[in-house]
């Protein structure tokens, strides 16, 4: 018989243990000795059924993986290393069997991949599936990278793709294929997608890869001023940096990586060719990493950037002036109003 | 116009600041320097509409207060001091006006009362109201009080009432009065209740008071072995201590505080007299504190317990033997099976 207690015991037997942990799952709180850290970062993200995802559009395995990855992406944006996480999980009664086990398998695989064991949480019945993950990251010295640390003269760089995730979402929306909820491996997803470009879009949406190695490295090397992960859309998130740093941010339209090949594939399905720059600027859920740094830091970055890391791309600059976002196309510069995702707009 | 951004800005202007905070609301993560703490405890609790509460049965002000209090109660059970909290909040679109402001006023009042400022969170649209609070507590020396730290020979003590909260819930259920969702102060609640006993029941359910002073003091004075807060029901939670400590726990039925006066008032409304011992043992949501300690510690406790604290009551003992819960009534002792709340049973 499934009980709350039996589900917690199932989880308890599979969760890992981070260093310095004094008490994990099964008490009123998890407890650890934080003396290894000079700073602790904490972040929380909701994943709600029919708001952030649909059960027919993702397997529980992928959903569990994504819940961890999006929180790790927030830690990447601070340049801190993953330490541990909590999961508050609400499930309908008919989801406590295979759905629960697949979800948690995906969750634990992602925890293991990013070095962030589960140390506690809460479990509840509900009418819809809901995950609320809280993630802890740590820095061993120096300060974290804040949105407000940008300076006039900084170059704005991007690591990762933008626009692909929204293309993946639209492909899922428009495709007449069924069975995506049963797809729970890369191989099966490639097969379901039918070709490499669509696979990349679907993967960007369903299995985002946080740029944690890159974010931590940038901070540890002192080669970053402001940093943010791109979850609401490139333009909306860069506007956060501009506002918090009190600078104007000028974006070069022709340096933004445009998902052209994926766009052509999407057009073949939807029948109309997407506005690629709009996807790149306002896509959302990209989990790319944007950061700013001085000219001196930029030189050091170019000289020392590890070859195994995902490439960085300079896409604009911070300037003194009215905080805001500006788009430079050809020789012209105009104020740009992001159309990023807002839950209540 | 209400936007996600405007709601976050509203919150940002009202949240407090704990010591050693390096970055609060408005970045990808909150950041603090944990060097003031020898141990950090983290806990998370869900409050879901139509699972944990109904919007017609509580004002948003009371709901916000309770969301904080139940997490502080978990910290009390570890004997750690509140440090800060995160709030992941999901709201229907028609709840972003006065409902949101009242909810957050209650939340902030409770944060202020328990010394636990809000430092971050997430905000989402949803079909129902949902709060997921993560609370951090700290110890400055020594270890936290775990469920597993009980020893054979320990006395089991209780601080606080049990059973009242469920009586309050049943009163709300059975009463024909309306307007409880507009009741947002103690005075108004007393007026709505009509008499002191019903008021105490309603207050226990809607505005639980965590025993944080008592829990922290017990830990700091080293006068506790195992400790737990009573959220699932006294019997169910004591069984946790018995199991985790590997002891048998014997409960004296005639030493458990029985809510007799409240029971008589409830009977006048419902028409039948409640089984008082059952309410006390299996009520749930009591947020009382149960702990175990040795005979020596018990003597010190009796000698040093501060007069301003809520009284403690010895209610049983731990014994070597098969882990389990036993109830002693008169001269007889029998195994007792808790009927505590389980989300999936």
State pLDDT tens for residues A268-320.
888 888 889 999 999 999 999 999 999 999 999 999 999 999 999 999 999 99
* Residue A29: closest C-alpha in chain B: B43
Give the list of residues 6+ apart from residue B72 with CB closer than 8 angstroms, or none.
B82, B110, B114, B116, B135, B210, B212
- Yes or no, beta carbons of B43 and A34 under 8 Å apart: no
Angle between helices A186-193 and A196-206 (to 10 degrees): 130
Residue A164, both tokens = 């692909």
Cα separation, B167 vs B205, whole angstroms: 8
ipTM: 0.93
Q: Does A78 touch chain B (CB under 8 A)?
A: yes
pLDDT at A106 over 80: yes
Check if B26 contacts A (Cβ < 8 Å): yes
B94: Cβ contacts below 8 Å, ≥ 6 apart? none
pLDDT over 90 (residue B233): yes
pLDDT at A1: 66
Give the pLDDT band (50/70/90) at residue B1. low
The average pLDDT across A155-179 equals 94
- The pLDDT score that the predictor gives to residue B111 is 97
pLDDT at position B154: 98
- CB of B30 within 8 Å of a chain A CB? The answer is yes
- All residues of chain B having their beta carbon less than 8 Å from the beta carbon of residue A122 are 44-46, 132
- For the record, the structure tokens of A177 come out as 């294929």
Q: Which residues of A touch B40 (CB under 8 A)?
A: 31-34, 40
Query: Chain A interface, mutation test: which of B23, B29, B241, most A Cβ atoms within 10 Å?
Result: B29
Residue B139, SS3 per DSSP: strand
A99 near A64, Cβ under 8 Å? no
Whole-number pLDDT of residue B60: 98
Residues B267-285 pLDDT 10s: 888 888 888 999 999 999 9
Nearest CA distance, A214 vs chain B (angstrom): 16
Q: Is A342's pLDDT higher than 90? A: no
Residue whose entry in the numeric block shows the structure tokens 């819960």: B325
pLDDT of residue B269: 81
Cα A264 to Cα A270: distance, rounded to the nearest angstrom: 10
pLDDT at B227 over 80: yes
Question: Given a cut of 70, is residue B2 above it in pLDDT?
Answer: yes
pLDDT of residue B342: 75
A52 touches chain B (CB under 8 A): yes
> Is residue A86 within 8 angstroms of chain B, CB to CB?
yes
Lowest mean pLDDT among A182-186, A196-200, B259-263: B259-263
pLDDT above 70: percentage of residues in chain B:
99
- What letter does residue A272 receive in the DSSP assignment? S
| pLDDT value of position A141 | 77
* CB-based contacts of A231, cutoff 8 Å, min separation 6: A70, A73, A237, A284, A285, A286, A287
Residue range A237-247: average pLDDT?
96
With contacts defined as CB-CB under 8 Å, which chain B residues touch A123?
343
* Eight-class DSSP state of A195: S
Q: How far apart are CA B288 and CA B252, in angstroms?
A: 17
CB-count burial class (<10 Å; 0-12, 13-18, 19+) for B94: exposed
Residues of chain B positioned with their CB less than 8 A from the CB of A147: 26-28
Mean pLDDT lowest among A311-315, B111-115, B162-166, B255-259:
B255-259
Token pair in block for residue A27: 């008490």
* pLDDT tens by residue, B95-131: 999 999 999 999 999 999 999 999 999 999 999 999 9
The CA-atom distances, in angstroms, between B127 and each of A193, B51, B147 are: 32, 14, 37
Q: What is the pLDDT of residue B284?
A: 92
Q: Is the predicted pLDDT of residue B208 greater than 80, yes or no?
A: yes
CA separation for the pair B291, B99 (Å, rounded): 38
- The model carries a pTM of 0.94
| Spatial distance between the Cα atoms of B95 and B101, rounded to a whole number of angstroms | 9
B85, closest residue in chain A (CA to CA): A42
Q: What is the pLDDT of residues B293-328, one digit of tens each?
A: 999 999 999 999 999 999 999 999 999 999 999 999
- Given a cut of 80, whether residue B344 has pLDDT beyond it is no
Note the pLDDT of residue A246. 97
Instruction: Please write the tens of the pLDDT for every residue from A59-105.
Output: 999 999 999 999 999 999 999 999 999 999 999 999 999 999 999 99
**Residue B340 in this model has a pLDDT that exceeds 80:** no
Q: Tell me what pLDDT residue B277 has.
A: 93
SS3 A341: coil
Residue of chain A whose Cα is closest to the Cα of B134 = A134
pLDDT at residue B198, rounded to an integer: 94
Chain A residues with beta carbon closer than 8 angstroms to that of B33: 38-40
Contact at CB, A80 and B126, closer than 8 angstroms: no
**Residue B28 confidence (pLDDT):** 86
Report pLDDT for B271: 83
Report d(CA A122, CA A159) in Å as an integer. 34
Chain A residues lying within 8 Å of B78, measured CB to CB: 27-29, 31
Inform me whether the pLDDT recorded for A344 exceeds 80: no
**Is the CB of A70 inside 8 Å of chain B's CB atoms?**
no
Q: Which is it for strands A155-159 and A288-293: parallel, antiparallel or unpaired?
A: antiparallel
Greater model confidence, B5 or B129: B129
* Res B237 pLDDT > 90: yes
Name the β-bridge partners of B313: B158
Check CB contact of A90 with chain B, cutoff 8 Å. Answer: yes
- Give the distance from residue B276's alpha carbon to the nearest chain A alpha carbon, in angstroms: 26
């Amino acid at each position: 018989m499934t009980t709350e207690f039996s589900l917690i015991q199932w989880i308890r037997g599979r969760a890992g243990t981070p260093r310095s942990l004094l008490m994990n799952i099964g008490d009123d709180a998890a407890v650890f000795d934080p003396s290894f850290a000079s700073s602790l970062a904490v972040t929380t993200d909701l994943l709600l059924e029919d708001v952030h995802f649909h059960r027919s559009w993702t397997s529980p395995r992928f959903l569990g993986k994504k819940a961890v990855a999006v929180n790790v992406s927030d830690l990447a944006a601070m340049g801190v290393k993953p330490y541990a996480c909590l999961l508050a999980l609400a499930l309908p009664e008919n989801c406590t069997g295979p759905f629960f086990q697949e979800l948690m398998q995906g969750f634990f695989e992602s925890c293991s991949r990013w070095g962030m064991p589960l140390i506690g949480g809460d479990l509840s019945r509900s009418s819809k599936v809901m995950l609320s993950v809280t993630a802890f990251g740590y820095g061993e010295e120096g300060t974290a990278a804040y949105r407000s640390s940008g300076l006039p003269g900084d170059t704005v760089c991007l690591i990762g793709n933008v626009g692909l995730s929204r293309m993946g979402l639209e492909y899922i929306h428009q495709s007449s294929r069924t069975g995506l909820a049963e797809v729970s491996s890369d191989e099966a997803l490639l097969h379901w997608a039918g070709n490499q470009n669509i696979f990349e879009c679907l993967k960007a949406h369903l299995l985002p890869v946080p740029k944690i190695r890159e974010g931590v490295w940038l901070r540890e090397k002192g080669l970053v001023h402001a940093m943010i992960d791109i979850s609401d859309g490139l333009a909306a998130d860069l506007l956060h940096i501009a506002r918090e740093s009190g600078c104007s941010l000028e974006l070069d339209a022709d340096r933004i990586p445009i998902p052209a090949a994926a766009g052509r594939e999407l057009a073949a399905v939807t029948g109309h060719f997407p506005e690629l720059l709009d996807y790149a600027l306002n896509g959302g859920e990209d989990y790319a990493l944007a950061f700013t740094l001085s000219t001196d830091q930029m030189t050091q970055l170019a000289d020392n950037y590890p070859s195994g890391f995902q490439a960085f791309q300079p896409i604009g600059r911070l300037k003194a002036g009215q905080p805001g976002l500006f788009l430079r196309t050809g020789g012209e510069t105009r104020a740009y109003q992001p159309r990023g995702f807002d839950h209540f707009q």
